[in-house]
Chain A
Amino acid sequence: MSATAAMEVNAEARRILAVSISKLYASRTQRGGLRLHRSLLLSLVMRSARDIYHSSREIEAQLADAEPMEAGSCSWDQMESSESQSEQTTAEPAVEEPDCSEKEFDGESTEDKENQSPARQSRKRRGKVSAAPDFLPSKRARLEPGEERYAAMLGSCRAGAVESLTALSLNRVIPAF
């Protein structure tokens, strides 16, 4: 795959991810409650898009660096992809605090290495790759006053927690049901 093709795939994957996230958000206010089937399909698309985004970024990174890379950064790539794999397979509690889930989405959580690594890599990369995926909010996002109220609402409907969506990370979309 050429560098431009990789970049196009990258941009497409990011766009699809952004669209999917906005659909997931919108489905919270849908009449009749969250639809399990639809949410499952959305999360599958997001997962594909995320995987393709990462693999195309890796390709981009490999193509961008003509000169030999330091051993450290190579292994960081591998660590990052293997960590996102293990994240998916780790069993996590089905019900969780709403403010915890907001942080997860915002990328603040320490176990979410995906959002930490780009910043690290860019220092070594001579700034060719953007520091962080721009479809995600900044890592330092705080709960805005409006979101605070929303998180409180989520907390109040948590009982039974069958169908209210409390998290947006891919692993946690479905356990919210």
Chain B
Amino acid sequence: MAGPGGDMQWCFSQVKGAIDDDVAEADIISTVEFNHTGELLATGDKGGRVVIFQQEIENKSQPQFRSEYNVYSTFQSHEPEFDYLKSLEIEEKINKIRWLPQKNAAQFLLSTNDKTIKLWKISERDKRPEGYNLKEEDGRYKDPNTITSLRVPVLIPMDLMVEASPRRVFANAHTYHINSISVNSDEETYLSADDLRINLWNLEITDRSFNIVDIKPANMEELTEVITAAEFHPHQCNTFVYSSSKGTIRLCDMRASALCDKHSKLFEEPEDPSNRSFFSEIISSISDVKFSHNGRYMMTRDYLSVKIWDLNMENRPVETHQVHEYLRSKLCSLYENDCIFDKFECCWNGNDSVVMTGSYNNFFRMFDRGQRRDVTLEASRENSKPMQVLKPRKVCAGGKRKKDEISVDSLDFNKKILHTAWHPQDNIIAVATTNNLYIFQDKVN
């Protein structure tokens, strides 16, 4: 699935969500995730809802069009709750969705808010039983004395119905806010991470979890860092990583001990002293960590850059890609308008040759590792004609602004792309703006 020699071009495919500029807070997309085959695409929003899109069977007669994604299922995953002991509201916002590998006809996903993780089963029903002779039309049971024969109901086709039902609720295991969930390659366990602790769960057992990382200091005054993201290795079921607000990543081996406070590897790049500022600590905080599909690398996202680490080299990343270096001189204003706290995610393409992450002004960036090239693209309604090719964008950092460039001061910091996802096998990407989901695909010649 590598792109043809030369520049890969991306085209608009679809956009989902309301058109009007007045964004309802509940509609703000908070997570996007393809399933393992890429056939299903799930989004979670601030209102606690999950919407799943399904790619239709490919249209063989028109190979230039990949199939569209249409709504498959919508359900309310989490509701707002109130913690009476602490007098705190628990937001229903879906922080993360992770799909389980498919084992039977049904699909399963884990969705989490700040405190509770739920396992949802999404199943199809396209037949229903008919021909009961024990019941009336309206469902009332007939008088048994009137029944003289036994008739077995027959399954007849019906309109497809997709049902989502909560199969497990994993609650009350996190004092702090859950930021990550990750399914293990053993397909039996998963981890959930909050600011200070990581718990290991068995998918079948809801009343118990094992604490595998605890960085809470005895005296909270000594707290210097929190956990910001965690993920299991894609193949090694004993290995996971977690990132911190200090810009470090720790790799842990669950075989070493029950409590993995002692890391097996510590990945940290020494800070460049010339870049020191008031905000150095904030911008070095890692907002996302993702293993490559082949399990040899991992990628981290901090405020200004994306770093790719070789798991065998702890002292520095093998690649560093600047996402929006022109913001370094604007950190003070970004601190004042809270943008400096934005948590951007990042993702790999299927063969680990390209990585992608979001930025401001509805821009998103792709870095081609092999060809050492990067591109900035924009998700906007203006570029949303069917199969319209996206034109690369350029930000003018200073000095003379060329034609078609946009100056840093004109960037809209309210339009941010925090969540992106790449189809595991194909060149299809899902990019979430505030309340819209854009689907782009590469141009098939």
Contact = CB atoms under 8 A, between A and B. Distances in A.
Given A36-B195, A40-B226, A175 B332 contact: no
B226 A92 contact: no
Contacts of B176: 36, 177
Interface in B212-254: 219-221, 223-226, 228, 245
Contact of A36 (B93, B177, B278, B336): B177
A177 B88 contact: no
Interface in A137-165: 156-157, 159-160, 162-164
Nearest to A13: B278
Interface residues of B, number: 35
B86 interface: yes
Interface residues of A, number: 35
Contacts of B91: 31-32
Interface string A15-30: 0100100010000000
B335 A45 contact: yes
B89 interface: yes
Contacts of A176: 220
Contact of B88 (A163, A171, A172): A163
Interface in B262-281: 278-279, 281
Contacts of A37: 177, 179, 195, 226, 228, 245, 285
A13 B335 CA distance: 13
Contacts of B245: 37, 40-41
Contacts of B85: 159-160
Contact of B86 (A44, A48, A52, A157): A157
Interface string B194-225: 01100000000000000000000001110111
Contact of B223 (A13, A35, A40, A162): A40
A176 B195 CA distance: 15
Given A32-B177, A94-B219, A41 B86 contact: no
Given A31-B91, A36-B195, A175 B86 contact: no
Given A32-B114, A40-B245, A52 B278 contact: yes
B87 interface: yes
A38 interface: yes
B73 to A, nearest CB: 26
B414 interface: no
B221 A172 contact: yes
B75 interface: no
Q: For A41, A164, A172, which residue has the most chain B Cβ atoms within 10 angstroms?
A: A41
A177 B114 contact: no
A55 to B, nearest CB: 13
B285 A41 contact: yes
B175 interface: yes
A12 B331 CA distance: 13
A48 B278 contact: yes
A162 B223 CA distance: 14
A44 B195 contact: no
B188 to A, nearest CB: 30
A174 interface: yes
Contacts of B285: 37, 41
Nearest to B285: A41
B228 A44 contact: no
A89 to B, nearest CB: 9
Contacts of B179: 37
Nearest to B282: A41
Interface in A112-156: 156
Given A36-B177, A37-B228, A164 B336 contact: no
A44 B281 contact: yes
B375 interface: no
A91 interface: yes
Given A36-B176, A94-B220, A171-B221, A160 B86 contact: yes
6 contacts: A13-B278, A31-B91, A36-B176, A48-B281, A94-B220, A177-B176
Interface of B: 83, 85-91, 93, 114, 175-177, 179, 195-196, 219-221, 223-226, 228, 245, 278-279, 281-282, 285, 332, 335-336, 338, 341
Interface of A: 12-13, 16, 19, 23, 31-33, 35-38, 40-41, 44-45, 48-49, 52, 91-92, 94, 156-157, 159-160, 162-164, 171-172, 174-177
